[in-house]
Copies of this chain bind each other. A is one copy, B any other.
Amino acid sequence: MPAEIISVGTELLLGQITDTNATFICERLAEFGVDVHFRSTVGDNQDRIVRRIRHAIEQADVIIMTGGLGPTSDDLTREAMAEACGRGMYRDPESETAIRAFFERRGYAMAEMNLKQADVPEGGSPIPNTCGTAPGVFLEHGGRLLFAVPGVPREMREMTVREVIPRLREHGRAGSHVIRSRALRVFGMGESMVARAVQDLLDTQQNPTIAPLAGQGEVVLRLTAKSPTWDEAGRLIAELEAEVRRRLGSYVFGEDDTGLPEVVVRTLAERQEMLSTAESCTGGLIGSRITDVSGSSRCYAGGVVSYSNEAKSDLLGVPPAAVDEYGAVSPEVAELMARGVRERLGTEYGLSATGIAGPDGGTAEKPVGLVFVGLASPHGVSVERHMFTQNRLDNKLRTSQAALDLLRRHLLDAGPPP
């Protein structure tokens, strides 16, 4: 029998927060071959939580609840679990000690209601919480395994990985198969172009499956394999991945968590070369994304946000006459910005972006979404023109992607560093 996830919290039913906890738990269960057939969300209402648990017990083998373990009167998961299973509650002395110690360490006064978090349905046991006060709950009931983990995402994640998954394996609930997936990240082709390139694979897919998805300024091709073992699933994915890469070539820039900034930083660090940036319409986003990558100081010198024309001339040496003649959004100015920052900071590469992010400032000749990205390198300068969307944040992100990809492709072709 499959698993069910129950998310508890009225704020979820009011749409005040998005349920990323259930996503995380589902993803981990999939990895360990635990099928999830159903997810549900109930508010902070004991009767409804009890009804949901009873119903879940009829149709699922493993029930994982998240939320409702806090100290306030709205937190009802422990009570509901006990009631649904017709059990009383006991106060676990170790949990009580741990909760008292948590407050003492921080020098806070503890309200008596915090001890409610040490309560456990009879026959069940607390699950230690290493990053917060609320212990989880583990209960075997009528052949079912019931878990309750906190709603605080960090505590939920830690407890799921460290405690829930291992107990599912111990109790033989990890599946006879695992589901493993891999995301191939593509820049420079639209979703439908990618789909056409792999159309026959899409049409005949069984295992692994393959699905193109529009990502943020890129396309993601997700390969998912189901297999008795993790390694076998990996082999199935690797075969399909090789075929996809053969077709899409260098349009595939990275995989899983490796975005364009990670690829660029890794490549530059390997080559021991330095980059600087000159940004207009992106306002610092390219630099910020590069410096999101740990270790980027080894290959990123910094740069200029030349939002105003004065900044272009004062900090980058772009002649005001060039801005007057060609306009701030032009291939000529993109080139001068890239050259300017490269020279000022003495780096191997200078990367620039200038465009009309919108929603205002567009003209018939230079509409919102028009962008030029430029790269100055030891081999010269190249500039590319792009036409993006009407949306400001979208334009900024796509422009940063286009600039980083211009550099990535250059580095692919550049041969070894001198």
Question: How far in angstroms is the closest Cβ of chain B from A385?
Answer: 21
Q: When the two chains form their complex, are residues B28 and A23 in contact, meaning their CB atoms are under 8 A apart?
A: no
Question: How far in angstroms is the closest Cβ of chain B from A99?
Answer: 16
A42 at the interface (CB under 8 A from B): yes
Question: How far in angstroms is the closest Cβ of chain B from A108?
Answer: 8
Q: When the two chains form their complex, are residues A285 and B282 in contact, meaning their CB atoms are under 8 A apart?
A: no
Contact bitstring A237-268, B, C-beta under 8 A = 1, else 0: 00000000000000000000000000000000
Question: How far in angstroms is the closest Cβ of chain B from A379?
Answer: 23
Question: How far in angstroms is the closest Cβ of chain B from A292?
Answer: 6
How many copies of this chain does one complex carry? 2
Measured in the bound complex, the distance between the Cα atoms of B291 and A281 in whole Å is 8
Q: At the interface with chain B, which of A7-15, A86-94, A370-378?
A: A7-15
A396 at the interface (CB under 8 A from B): yes
Given A279-B284, A284-B279, A344 and B360 touching (CB < 8 A)? no
Question: How far in angstroms is the closest Cβ of chain B from A402?
Answer: 16
Beyond A283-B287, A284-B288, 6 additional pairs, beta carbon < 8 A: A17-B23, A283-B292, A283-B302, A287-B307, A302-B306, A302-B307
Q: List 26 A-B contacts (CB under 8 A).
A: A13-B36, A13-B39, A14-B26, A14-B30, A15-B24, A15-B27, A15-B29, A16-B181, A16-B222, A19-B23, A22-B41, A37-B45, A38-B41, A279-B287, A283-B287, A283-B290, A284-B287, A288-B396, A291-B305, A292-B392, A300-B308, A302-B306, A303-B305, A304-B315, A310-B346, A314-B345
